[in-house]
Amino acid sequence: MEKQFIELFDLLCENAGNSHQLLNAYIQEKNKIQASKLNTEQLVSELYKLKNFDWGGDYQNSLDKYLVSRYVKVHKSYDTLVSKFETEIHVAVQGYVLNSWYNHWSSILIEHIFKSHPTVLPTVGQIKSVDFFISNVPFDLKVTYLPAEYIKFKRKERGLPVELTFLKSKATEAKITFDKKAKDTDIFYEIVEKMKDKNDEFCNSILTTLKNEKLEILKEVQDNPKILAKWLYENQGEMRFGSENRLFLVLVDTDNFNNSWKLKRNLELLKPTIMNYLDNFKNKKIDDLKVMFGYKGKSQIFTALTDIIFVVK
């Protein structure tokens, strides 16, 4: 086998240009066969069965770390720990599994959209931090949303209060009561829904103000994607840190930013946007894709090639 590999490699080296074309054609043909085995319509239909995207906890990239820090090292009582299975642990594990399932299969569908374009060369097997090549540039695809932490950061930069703080004060003005002991996400949801239900001029103006502030932040990064790309590199999870080339697909539902996760299964919206980007990739300059960033706890400055595709509904 080793001798055959050496002989084959030597033959390919005799005409490298032609060999590259043959190998690329072979890889693309194999990818077509793989894609044809995927029942896209059925898979999309399955993804639509997920009605709520709730992780059930803040895992910081690791469910086992979350369970250990929140339950194993906290509760000395066996009976207390067991009592958490039906209420908290069950919800956390179920949410983690369902959301991970949704992210995995929707990402496969999205990757196949990229790999179906003639300028994209799929990888052979698993290559660490590379999903495909666009015009010979390797990229790791990251599907994400406009991060809540980024919005919080930009609001602070603009001198705006934290959204929840703003909502609480305005709810008091509107004489809207809410459960002050609930989780922040639940309080936010309760106030917004009650303001929608009240549907008066004051409440509608508050909701419109919050939405317009988010849209302004969105427009800023659409006009200059590198601002967000740099932030995403600098604020990635420590356990998943990487400085490889990344292509970010940022999904935004402007009607309700919290529903942006649903766009991962919306192929009717995703495909034309992705194809348009790939059609025009040849017009991009490599220097324009370069980003330099630092990372907490690391002394060096990292350089990568990166870009952002915005899919906005």
Element at 252 (helix H, strand E): strand 246-252
- Tell me what pLDDT residue 217 has: 97
3-state secondary structure of 50: coil
- Across the range 187-198, mean pLDDT stands at 96
- Tell me what pLDDT residue 2 has: 66
Q: Residue 254 and residue 264: Cα distance in Å, rounded? A: 15
- Tell me what pLDDT residue 10 has: 66
Which amino acid type is present at position 19? S
**What one-character DSSP code corresponds to residue 71?**
I
pLDDT at 34 over 90: no
CB atoms within 10 A of CB 301: 10
Task: Render pLDDT for 254-270 as a digit per residue (tens, 0 to 9).
Answer: 999 999 999 999 999 99
Checking phi first, is residue 147 left (phi over 0); if not, alpha (psi -120 to 50) or beta? beta
Q: How far is CA 211 from CA 151, 189, 266, in A?
A: 11, 14, 22
| Percent of the chain that is helix, strand, coil (3-state, to 5) | 60, 15, 25
Q: What are the residue boundaries of the structural domains of the chain, listed by start?
A: 2-35, 38-54+94-147+235-312, 152-217
Percent of the chain clearing pLDDT 90 (strictly above): 64
- Tell me what pLDDT residue 73 has: 87
Structure tokens at 18: 């032609």
User: Which residue has 């009976």 as its token pair?
Assistant: 79
DSSP alpha helix (H) spans, 125-254: 148-157, 163-173, 184-198, 201-223, 225-234
